[in-house]
Structure 1
Amino acid sequence: MSKKSHSSTSKVQQQEMMQSEEITLTDDIVVSFLEDNPEFFNRHPELATSLRVSDQHRGTVSLVERQQQQLRQKIHGLEEEITQLMAIANQNEQLFTLYSDLYLRLIDCQSAEELLDCLFKATTELLSLTDMKLWLVAPGEFSHACLVEKDCGGILQNRLAKDQYYFGRIQQSEQEMIFSGQCLGSVVLIKLQHQQQVLGFLAISSQDAEHFDPRMDTLLLSQFRKLVAKLLERFLVNEA
């Protein structure tokens, strides 16, 4: 037998051996094939309805039914997201209106006492929060139930040295100093600063431990903080 004939016989035998070997199909192979052949179901349209897949609630369904179910679930999820966004938008609109009305009331205040009365009422009645306190670096010549008499300079340094706000929980010793008792929920500390001069801070508490969260948006609080600091500084100067 010639070398050429022997070589041809070997190739034929190799091809037959390769054809006789069983290829183990895996999920990856099937997925890769379908991704590489997007027209597969167009060539075999009957498979879309004849193939059955297991469904947790309906037993077995066709591929078309499974696709419809997934689309319904996606639409339902989008509807829920839209509903949540509308609720958030409505809440933000209400907050904006509340803050706008509050700003007008604050501007009309004629004294530091009246200013604190207005702030306390807005905090506890309009916003349904628990309490509000004010600590001043240099106490003014006035008294009010919202004023913190204890020295909170350490709290100002620890919580607000580099930030304008602190959201979350505070230590029990800090609770005692600011609120004269335990605060089981969450608080926000708002640094009051006018023209680079730190006046002190406002402390507002909520019974809800999750109400004041570090992820909160501070746009409205930023405007509120600046206005209160400006008005407070004016009253303190006039009373000095």
Structure 2
Amino acid sequence: MSLTPTEFDISQLDDELVLEFLQSDQDFFARHPQLLTSLQLQDNRRGTISLVERQQQLLRQKVQLLEEEITQLLTVANQNDRLLTIFNDLYLNLIGADTFAGFCDYLQETTKRLLELSDVRLVLYKSQISKHCSSQNRTNTANTELSHQILIDDIQPLQYSDQFGDDNYYFGRLTAAQQSLLFPDEASGSSCLVRLQHQDQDIGFIAFYAKDVEHFYPGIDTLLLEQFRHLVAKLVMTKFNSSD
């Protein structure tokens, strides 16, 4: 008695079954090498191509993407090296400043020239500075008469609290009212707000402004800014906001 082979209904095959079979049988194309050149695939730009040509095309695309990623990484690395050098020089100049005016001059010059930004403001909360001064138990009166064109000392902490929330930074666009307080002569742009804290108390913030509305955006790396904000706050409160 002979057995007749069971006829197979090819319509029962679907993409998932074919994919599962090819993944489970790694030697399929090794046993049937003619398929690599005989299979015809449709390409939107080149028309009909072989499976080998399609594989080469995919590999070229992958290489191109990898090259673009490497280029982007090198660009970011070069930018970070440049920023690190700028911030290191800025730290030394800020520490070496003998007066509050000189301190602010260095801050303003570096921001506008080296960091290629349009403007900067140093916001200090009078209430917090006064509280710090009264807690020092000094016999002389504290030198709280700080003055400079980038200094703003009539802003209340709650006016920008929504921007910070639980974070130490804000990147993006400000409301018209908020921008008019910090940069009244500027049109719409983007800003970076950096919270200043001393002894776990908010004493103000630094505001950077760029005319490009996309210059500052959420997700910017804050590693260098973290060191910067601690240094500025410490110098303001211990070096320039001290007794004569």
Q: Is 1:81 aligned to 2:69, yes or no?
A: yes
After superposition, where does 1:57-136 map in structure 2 within 5 Å? 57-136=45-124
* Alpha-carbon contact 2:41-2:48 (below 8 Å) kept: yes
Structure with the largest fraction of helix: 1
**Is residue 221 of structure 2 the alignment partner of residue 217 of structure 1?**
yes
The CA deviation at 1:150 is 3.4
The amino acid of 2:72's aligned partner reads Q
Within the alignment, does 1:55 sit opposite 2:43 as a pair?
yes
Partner Cα distance (1:66, 1:161) in 2:
51
Match of 1:192 in 2: 196
Q: How many aligned positions are there?
A: 227
Runs of 4+ displaced beyond 6 Å: none
Decide which structure has the larger Cα Rg and report it: 1
Distance 2:70 2:151 in 1: 43
**Structure 2 CA distance for aligned equivalents of residues 36 and 162 of structure 1:** 51
Matches of 2:33 and 2:86 in 1, distance apart? 60
Give the corresponding residue for 2:132: none
CA distance 1:158–1:47, shift in 2 (3 Å): closer
Q: CA RMSD in A?
A: 2.3
Distance 1:183-1:153 versus aligned 2 partners, 3 A rule = farther
Given that residues 152 and 177 in structure 1 are in contact (C-alpha distance below 8 angstroms), is that contact kept between their aligned partners in structure 2? Answer: no
Q: Which amino acid aligns with 2:110?
A: A
The aligned counterpart of 2:183 is: 179
Do 2:191 and 2:209's aligned partners in 1 also have CA atoms closer than 8 Å?
Answer: yes
> Structure 2-normalised TM-score?
0.84
Partner of 1:22: 9
Gaps of 5+ in 1: 1-7
**More deviation, 38-47/111-120:** 38-47
Matched residues, percent identical? 44
The TM-score normalised by the length of structure 1 is: 0.85
Distance 2:108 2:37 in 1: 67
Q: Residues 39, 185 of structure 1: CA spacing in aligned structure 2 closer, same or farther, 3 A cutoff?
A: same
1:106 and 1:32 mapped to 2: Cα distance?
65
**Residues of 2 paired with 1:176 and 1:89: CA distance?**
35
Residue 207 of structure 2 aligns to a residue in which SS? strand
Which sections of structure 2, spanning at least 5 residues, go unmatched?
130-143
Distance 2:114 2:37 in 1: 59
- Do 2:125 and 2:154's aligned partners in 1 also have CA atoms closer than 8 Å? no
